[in-house]
Amino acid sequence: MACREQMLSNDYMEILLDYTSPYIDEIYPEHCIELIDDEFAVVLVNRSLLPPISISTFTYTAIPKLYGLMQENATPEQSNFDPLSLIRTGILQVQRPPLSLTGRGVIIGFIDTGIQYDLQVFRREDGTSRILAIWDQTIQDGIPPEGFSYGTLYTNEQINEALQSDDPLSIVPTTDTIGHGSAVASVAAGSSINFGLTFLGAAPDADIVVVKCREAKQYLRDYYFIPEGVPAYSGTDIAMAVKYLDSFGIAGIRPVVMCIGMGSNMGDHAGNSLLPRYLSRIAEKRSRVVVVCGGNEGNAEHHYGSSITMSSRLVTEVVEVRVDAQETGFVMELWGSPPNLFSVAIRSPGGEVIPAIDFRSRTTRSFSFIYERTKVTVDHILVEQVAGEEVVVFRFEDPTPGVWTFNIVIEGDSDYSDINMWLPITQFLNGNTQFLRSTPYTTLTEPSLGNNVITPSTYDDSNDSFYINSGRGFARGREAKPDFAAPGVNVSTVFGDRTGSSMSAAITAGASAQFMQWAVVEGNEPLVQSPQLKTYFMRGARRDMEVLYPSRSWGYGQLDIERTFRIIAGTVGG
């Protein structure tokens, strides 16, 4: 394909566009275009022909965000299978007659770290694979899927051939060395082993399609200061993976459920970045469901939010960030609500001050200090093209450890003004860098804020308590997110217990496959799509009389697919 070299080379920058135009030829010389769909595209340009990355040069949405895996901890040893999470969500109950919903006829697609395809939980009783296809974006010596320019596609026939071999990896060399993708897939779609006593996934008869995402190019890792050895994935590759999974769906005939267990703190947290918008667009299609985890940032102290009463035309808000001694660099975003204007003065831990930076001009500015090695780059857009709000991106290189102070001056005659600031997700930081005054709310990670995607938060089904690290809502524009909560603490996977929002996404994806079997495969509601399914699940969710819904933590309650069907049948009230 024309863009293969450019997609793979670190010398080419990926620019995400939400439009296509003949003027691209004039804007970007010697470029190559990879179409995502008729609206979204990736333009690849030699970095030597471009200025350094900045939102004021390339626009905010054009720079790909990087996403991390949303799994927190893993038990070192194999633990016994515990079906509690399947029981608490009603999944086990609807697997049984009379509904017998096991995901039959439904495809669950995973965008993750790959899959260990030789495991028993991904096979049928006769030993053949339930995996229809694996697109490994990291292997370049094979043939990619039709319409794509990189990676290697492995078909069901090739996988079955490999399973009959003494050395499967010599035939199909893809695997999951991290284990995250295999764990997620086992929870959502693991086969019934020993009649469900040894292991059982939520949708054990669903077909499986896997995209093993390649890790982001080094220039993007450098821009975002991603620590060495930490997995990070570009929104470009995730969008391509979504496009591939979408190709398997046939409206009213073959439903596809997509499961994404990744997240980022970069983005406006209102669903306006390119990836959540694209996911929302896909979720609007018939027979498509998109499930995205809500992240594990609720207790990380990486969000500062304040709604300020404008007592005068000039109001100053003081924000403090404690930078860990291990920190080598980080990127931080500030979003301010219109129509007020913002300026920021920065004070280093050593007392040096960057005077108030006026953001009325669209520029990128860099600052150095006399007594400290830190370099601070401040990038700004007065009116961001999609969100329509002011955004400032701070990039700290070799930050001095200690407390950095930001004096944010707000100017205007509006009665109120909102400020939101985000540090990177936990694994994208080297140390315990955090806001001294933080809020646990509006901490759902992107791309879970897409309007039409299904976003579960995470709770502990062993005691019905909300998981302290789970992302919380609402969206920055105060839209109701999450949609509901699903179990995600010590969930049984093929590798033992796992904790994190990727587990609650996996359980939700499995329940979604069950519902799509009933709705599409069995013809009860053949044109259902993500927004409708979301509403069904919200109606059926269990609610506590002492909680006000929608809740920032619980959404509309705890996922319960059995109760959803009881409401549909009219045997229980909503």
Based on its alpha-carbon atoms, the radius of gyration of the chain, rounded to whole angstroms, reads: 24
Bridge-based pairing state of the strands 256-260 and 107-112: parallel
- The single residue of 502, 512, 530, 553 carrying the catalytic annotation is 502
Instruction: Note the Cα 338 to chain centre separation in Å.
Output: 27
Please classify residue 351 by burial: count the beta carbons closer than 10 Å to its beta carbon, then call 0-12 exposed, 13-18 middle and 19+ buried. Answer: exposed
Instruction: Give the torsion through C-alpha atoms of 164, 165, 170, 171, to 10 deg.
Output: -30
Q: Which of 60, 23, 233, 196 is nearest to 121 (CA)?
A: 196
- The single residue of 31, 180, 269, 380 carrying the catalytic annotation is 180
Give the tokens for residue 436: 């001294």
Bridge-based pairing state of the strands 341-347 and 353-358: antiparallel
- Is 170 among the residues known to form the active site? no
CA-CA distance, 349 to 326, in Å (whole number)? 15
Bridge-based pairing state of the strands 207-212 and 256-260: unpaired
C-alpha distances (whole Å) from 558 to each of 24, 177, 192 are: 47, 33, 25
Q: Which residues pair with 493 in a beta bridge?
A: 496
CA-CA distance, 290 to 72, in Å (whole number)? 22
C-alpha distances (whole Å) from 176 to each of 137, 183, 214, 221 are: 12, 10, 12, 21
- Is 21 among the residues known to form the active site? no
Query: Would you give the DSSP letter of residue 226?
Result: P
- Is 324 among the residues known to form the active site? no
Give the tokens for residue 331: 């990127």
Give the tokens for residue 458: 């995470």
Is 264:189 a contact under the CB 8 Å cutoff? no
Question: According to DSSP H, which parts of 164-248 are helical?
Answer: 180-189, 218-224, 235-246
Is 65:226 a contact under the CB 8 Å cutoff? no
Residue by residue, DSSP assigns 465-524 as EEPTTS-----TT------EEEE-SSEEETTEEEESHHHHHHHHHHHHHHHHIIIIITSS
C-alpha distances (whole Å) from 127 to each of 121, 124, 131, 215 are: 10, 5, 12, 32
Give the tokens for residue 160: 């079955």
Is 302:425 a contact under the CB 8 Å cutoff? yes
- The single residue of 56, 112, 234, 264 carrying the catalytic annotation is 112
For tokens 């439009």, what's the residue? 19
CA-CA distance, 294 to 307, in Å (whole number)? 23
How many other C-beta atoms are found inside a 10 Å radius of the C-beta of residue 80? 10
CA-CA distance, 10 to 31, in Å (whole number)? 14
Annotated catalytic residues are 112, 180, 502
